Amino acid sequence: MDTLKRHLPFSGPEGLNELKNIAGRFEEKIYTSATSQSDYLRKISLKMLSMESRSQNAMPNPLQSNNASRSNEPPHPVDFYYPKKMGNILQISISCDGAIFNRCLDCFLGKAAYIRNLQENVVALKTELVKLIEAKNDVMARVVNAERQPMMTRLNKVHGWLSRVDAVTAEADELTRHGSQEIEKLCLGGYCSKNCKSSYKFGKQVAKKLRDIETLMAEGAFEVVAQRASESVAEERPIEPTVVGLQLQLEQVWRCLEEESVGIVGLYGMGGVGKTTLLTHINNKFLQRPTNFSCVIWVVVSKDLRLENIQETIGEKIGLLNDTWKNRRIEQKAQDIFRILKEKKFVLLLDDLWQRVDLTKVGVPLPGPQNNASKVVFTTRSEEVCGLMDAQKKFKVACLSDIDAWELFRQKVGEEALHSHPAILELAHTVAKECGGLPLALITVGRAMACKKTPEEWRYAIQVLRTSSSQFAGLGNEVYPLLRFSYDNLPNDTIRSCLLYCSLYPEDYCISKENLIDCWIGEGFLTERDRFGEQNQGYHILGILLHVCLLEEGGDGEVKMHDVVRDMALWIACDIEKEKENFLVYAGVGLTEAPEVKGWANARRISLMDNQITNLSEIPTCPHLLTLFLNKNKLQMIHNDFFQFMPSLKVLNLSHAELTELPVGIAQLVSLQHLDLSESDISELPEELKALVNLKCLNLEWTRYLITIPRQLVSNLSRLHVLRMFGASNNVLDEASEDSVLGELVVEELLGLKYLEVISFNLRSSRALQSFLSSHKLRSCIQALSLQHFKDTTFLEISALADLKQLNELRISECKKLEELKIDYPGVVQRFVFHGLKKVDIVKCNKLKDLTFLAFAPNLKSIEVLGCVAMEEIVSVGKFAAVPEVTANLNPFAKLQNLKFFGVINLKSIYWKPLPFPNLKSMSFLHCHKLKKLPLDSNSARERNIVIRGDRKWWEQLEWVDEATRNAFLPCFKS
C-alpha cells in the first residue's frame, strides 16, 4: 500500500480517498460480473496481467510479450498477493502505467476481508448481541422501577435507545440464524467463497451490525433513565359525539365555569339522561381549548361513598400516591392534598354523588376567588344533593326534545334500516317517542331496531313498548336496572310504594298532587296523626321523588312520571312473584271493554282509567284488591253486584264517568276509605253510602249535576276526614233543593263530624257564608271556597276570609250585583294576610270594580278574571292613597306564575307601576283592548321565560315604559 501511495498523482488524504474510490469502482465491476469463484479469479488475474507493470523481485510473467518493457515508461512496481493454497503464495509482479490499479488494489483487499472474517464476525455478533440484550434488560429494569413512582416517565433518549436496541436485536437475530449457511459457502480456509457475491454482502451486513451494537453499547450508559412527567391538564376520556340538545347544555355549563363567582356547579337529572356524558365532554373540553387551569381531576364517587377512595384518586393525579402515603390517616392525607391543591388552579369533577361529600375532610380547598378560582363540578340524580353541596349554580340535565331525540335515534338505527321500506320512517318516529327523550333508552332501542327492515317488525316493537316494554331487547337488562338503582336507593318502602302508585296513571298524564296524596292516605301509606300532617308528609314525599328526578313537575299543582320511569315502575310492580305489589294496568290504551275479570284475582291494584269502557257487567272476585281506578271512561252502567267480592278495597276512583247513579252494591265496600266521584254525571248519592263507615275521603268536586244528598248521609260518615265539594252543582236550583245540597242544613251536618279536617265547599248565599264562618271548626278546615250566585249581595267583607289559614283557592262566580270586595286595611296589614291563598278565579261578576285585596296575598300563583265587564283596575291606587303606610313594604305578586284576563273589556290597569314578577310564566289577554300598559319594565321577569298571549292588534297598541322594555318582551309575545 505504501508503494501504491508513492505512485499516486497526488499525495496525502486526498490521494488515499481517490485511490479507494477508483479501486472500489474497479473491483466492484469485476466482483459483480463474476459468476463463480474460478470466474472471479480468472477475471481479476486477466485484469491485472493486462496492465504493464514490473517489480524488483517479480518472477517472469509467461503471459507478457518480449517487448512489453519500454525504456521510455517509468517503472511502477506493485506486489500483489493472492491466496492460492494454505501456506503458498502466488506472487505476481505487474508494471502498471497509471494510478488505476494502485487505487483498486487497496479497496479490493479491504472488501475481501468481509469474506475472510465472516466466520469470526458471526461468532462475535452472537456474543455481542447477548451483551446488548443484557444491557437493555438492565436499563429496562431501571425504567420500570422509576415509572412505578407517581408522575415519573422515561426519558426520550432512553425510549429511543430501547427502540433502536429492539430493532438491531431483531436484525442481528436474523443474521445469526443464517450465519451457518453462509459459513458453509466458504472455501480456501475461509479466504474465499463458493458464492463470492452472497458471502460479501452477508459479511458486510454482519460487520455493520457489529459496529451498530458497539455504538449502542457505548450509548447505553445512562446515569438517569426517567424524569417527572410534564402532566397534561386533563386525561382524555372516551366519549361518543354529543347530540344537539346535550351540546347546548355543555355550552351553558362551560360559560358558567368561566365565571369567577361560580365555584361549585351541580348537574342533576334522572338516570340515563346523560349526566356522565355531559361531565365527560366537560373533561375533554379542557384539552381542546386553551385554559389557565393547572389540572383536571376526575373522581367516580357512586353510592358507596368512601373518602379514602376520593383521596387516593386525587393523590394519584397530583403525585402523592404510593404505598407509604396510602397507609396514612384520612386527616394526614387531607393535609397533603390541601397543601398541593391550594397552590393550583384546579377543576375537580365528581361523578355520581348520592350524598354530600365534605370537601374539607377530603382536603380539597373550597372553590372561590380566594382559592385561585378553582372549580368543582359534580353529577347527581338528586336536586337535593346540589343544595347539600352548596352549589352556586345547578343545571337540570333534561331529556332531549323531540327533534334532538329523533336525531339520536336515527343515528343509532342507521339509514339502511330506516329506508328499507317506505312505511318504516313514520313507524320509527313513533318508536322514538316511546323513549320519552331519554338518551339511554333511545340508544338502547335504536341499536335493537338497527336490523329491523320490515314494517311488521316495527309495528310489533311499538306494541311491545306500549304493553310489556320490559321484554324489549335491552330495556329489561340495561335501562331499567339503571333506573331501578334510583328506586332501590329511596329512603324507605313507603316512598317506594308511593312512586309505584304513580304508574297507575297513563303515560304523560299530569297527576294532581292533591288527589294523589288523598289516594296515598286512603291506601294507608301515610301515617301521621292528623290529615294535615299526612298531607304535609305527602308533599314531603313528592319533593323527594321530584328531587331525585323520578317524578317531574307538571302543570300547576301537578306532577308527571317520565314514560321510561313509568315503564320501569310497572316492570317492578307487575312482577307476579312480588305479591306485595302485583299491579294490573291498562291505563290509556283505548279499551272499549274491560279485560276478562278472571285475570283480576291476584291483583292488588288495578287501573283501567282513561279508556272507552261503557259498562261493567261481569262480577270479579278480587280478595286482595286495594285500589281500583275506573275513572275517565264512558261508564254508564256498573252491575249492582260488581263490588260484591272486593272486601279489601280502600281506594275507588269513578271520576269523569258518565254514570248518573251508583250501583247499590257499593254498600259492600266496607273497607273503602277513599271515594272519588269528581266531575262525574252523578245526580244523586244513594242511601247505601251510609254503609261506608270507614270512608275518610269523599270527593264530589265539580259534580255539576248533583242535586240530591240524602239527609243524614254526611253525618253518618262518622270517620270522614275530607269532604271536597268545590264547584259542585252549578245549576240554579229552587231554595229547598239548594238547602238540601249545599245550604245551611249540610253545614249543620258537617259540624257533627268529629274527625273532619279538610273541606272544599260551595256556598250560594251570604247567609250560608255567615253560618259557615261562625264555626271555628269549619273555618279551620276550609281549603277551597266557591261563592256562587249571591243574588242580592252588593259587597262582601273579604277581610273575613283573611284569617282562613288553610284557604288556598277562592272562586267568586256569577254574583251579578256584587260591586265591591271590602278590605279593613288597618286590620289586614296588622292582623290578617291571605297567606295560604294560591289561586283566585273571579267569573262573571259584572259590577265588580277591582280586586285590590289580591295585593295582600303574598303566595298567590294564579289569577283568572273572566267576563267582569265593569272592572277597570286589579289593584286600585285610589284605595291605597289614604293609607301610604300600607304600601311601604308591599311586594305584590312576587310568586305569581299565571295571569289570565278574558273579556274584561274595561280593564285599564293591573298595577300602577312596574313589578318584578320573578316567577311569572304566562300572561293571557283576550278582549281587553283598553289595557294599554302592562306593569313591566326592563327589570321585570328577568329570565324572560314568560309567554304573553293576546291578539296582535292589542299588542301593537301597547305603551311601554321605554324602548328597552318593549324590545325585551317582544320575543315573548304569541298571537
Q: Contact, 383 vs 486, CB < 8 A? A: no
Give the closest residue to 969 by CA, choosing from 928, 929, 917. 917
> Per-residue pLDDT tens for 353-403?
989 999 999 999 988 766 678 899 999 999 999 999 999 999 999 888 899
Phi, psi of 797 (to 5 degrees): -80, 85
Band the pLDDT of 573: cuts 50, 70, 90.
Answer: confident
Q: Return the pLDDT at 827.
A: 59
Contact residues for 155 (Cβ-Cβ < 8 A; gap 6+):
222, 224, 225, 226, 227
Does one domain contain both 389 and 255?
yes
Quick check: 20 pLDDT over 60? no
Query: In the numeric block, which cell numbers belong to residue 5?
Result: 501511495
Which residues pair with residue 898 across a beta bridge? 862, 922
- E strands within 681-770? 697-699, 722-724, 758-763
Q: What is the CA radius of gyration of the chain?
A: 48
Residue 248 amino acid letter:
L
Which has the minimum average pLDDT: 7-21, 69-83, 634-648, 687-701? 69-83
Residues 92-113, mean pLDDT to the nearest whole number: 49
Give the closest residue to 864 by CA, choosing from 916, 917, 928. 928
Q: For cell 286589579, what's the residue? A: 874
Q: Does an H or E element contain 647, and which?
A: none
Asked whether residue 609 is domain-assigned, the answer is no
Q: How many domains does the chain have?
A: 6
Give the closest residue to 432 by CA, choosing from 451, 454, 413, 455. 413
Q: Does an H or E element contain 289, and which?
A: none
Give the closest residue to 782 by CA, choosing from 846, 723, 865. 723
Contact residues for 339 (Cβ-Cβ < 8 A; gap 6+):
none
Band the pLDDT of 541: cuts 50, 70, 90.
Answer: very high
Asked whether residue 687 is domain-assigned, the answer is no
| Torsion over CA: 852, 855, 856, 858 (sign) | positive
Does one domain contain both 312 and 257?
yes
d(C-alpha 601, C-alpha 595), whole Å: 12
Band the pLDDT of 76: cuts 50, 70, 90.
Answer: very low
The CATH number of the domain where 520 resides is what?
1.10.10.10
- E strands within 151-258? 152-154, 186-187, 192-193, 226-228
Query: What is the reported pTM?
Result: 0.69
Residues 713-742, mean pLDDT to the nearest whole number: 68
> Per-residue pLDDT tens for 138-173?
999 998 888 777 667 788 888 899 999 999 998 888
d(C-alpha 815, C-alpha 790), whole Å: 5
How many residues are there in the chain? 975
Asked whether residue 239 is domain-assigned, the answer is no
pLDDT top residue among 629 and 710: 629
Quick check: 278 pLDDT over 50? yes
Distances (CA, A) of 934 to 598, 853, 854, 874, 901: 61, 19, 17, 12, 12
Q: How far apart are the first and last CA of the chain?
A: 109
| Torsion over CA: 279, 284, 290, 295 (sign) | positive
Q: Which of 531, 548, 569 is the last residue of a domain?
A: 569
Does one domain contain both 97 and 125?
no
Quick check: 832 pLDDT over 50? yes
Q: Contact, 583 vs 504, CB < 8 A? A: yes
Distances (CA, A) of 815 to 164, 791, 868: 99, 6, 10
Q: What number of other Cβ atoms are within 10 A of residue 2's Cβ?
A: 5
651 burial via Cβ count (<10 Å: 0-12, 13-18, 19+) = buried
> Per-residue pLDDT tens for 670-679?
999 999 999 9
Q: Contact, 907 vs 872, CB < 8 A? A: yes
DSSP state of 959: B
Asked whether residue 253 is domain-assigned, the answer is yes
Q: Return the pLDDT at 885.
A: 65
Does one domain contain both 392 and 250?
yes
Q: Which of 569, 588, 619 is the last residue of a domain?
A: 569
Does one domain contain both 353 and 410?
no
Which has the minimum average pLDDT: 24-28, 278-282, 559-563, 790-794? 24-28
Does one domain contain both 181 and 252?
no
Does one domain contain both 853 and 947?
yes
The CATH number of the domain where 262 resides is what?
3.40.50.300
Which residues pair with residue 809 across a beta bridge? 784, 839
pLDDT top residue among 523 and 824: 523
Pairing of strands 809-813, 782-788: parallel
pLDDT top residue among 470 and 661: 661
Asked whether residue 37 is domain-assigned, the answer is yes
Does one domain contain both 91 and 123?
no
Band the pLDDT of 752: cuts 50, 70, 90.
Answer: confident
Q: Contact, 927 vs 904, CB < 8 A? A: yes
Q: Contact, 898 vs 922, CB < 8 A? A: yes
Domain containing residue 105: 2-113
Does one domain contain both 262 and 368?
yes
Residues 737-742, mean pLDDT to the nearest whole number: 42
* Highest mean pLDDT, choosing among 59-73, 366-380, 951-965: 951-965
Does one domain contain both 99 and 123?
no
Which has the minimum average pLDDT: 244-258, 596-610, 643-657, 944-958? 244-258
Band the pLDDT of 604: cuts 50, 70, 90.
Answer: very high
Band the pLDDT of 83: cuts 50, 70, 90.
Answer: very low
Q: Does an H or E element contain 138, and which?
A: helix 118-147
Band the pLDDT of 98: cuts 50, 70, 90.
Answer: very low
Asked whether residue 762 is domain-assigned, the answer is no
Q: Which of 569, 591, 616 is the last residue of a domain?
A: 569
Give the closest residue to 346 by CA, choosing from 228, 231, 229. 231
Query: In the numeric block, which cell numbers belong to residue 208?
Result: 455493520
Q: Contact, 944 vs 918, CB < 8 A? A: no
Asked whether residue 383 is domain-assigned, the answer is yes
Q: Return the pLDDT at 740.
A: 37
> Per-residue pLDDT tens for 866-906?
999 999 999 988 776 666 666 666 788 999 999 999 999 99
Which has the minimum average pLDDT: 121-130, 748-757, 885-894, 960-969? 885-894
d(C-alpha 887, C-alpha 889), whole Å: 6
Q: Contact, 196 vs 37, CB < 8 A? A: yes
Q: Return the pLDDT at 586.
A: 93
User: What is the chain's mean pLDDT, rounded?
Assistant: 82
d(C-alpha 480, C-alpha 474), whole Å: 9
Asked whether residue 74 is domain-assigned, the answer is yes
Distances (CA, A) of 571 to 114, 435, 576, 743: 82, 15, 10, 49
* Highest mean pLDDT, choosing among 333-342, 731-740, 899-908: 899-908
* CA 806 distance to own-chain centroid: 40
Q: Return the pLDDT at 498.
A: 95
Quick check: 572 pLDDT over 80? yes
> Per-residue pLDDT tens for 199-249?
778 888 888 888 888 898 898 888 888 877 656 677 888 877 767 778 888
Does one domain contain both 62 and 194?
no
Which has the minimum average pLDDT: 100-104, 409-413, 499-503, 629-633? 100-104
Does one domain contain both 334 and 191?
no
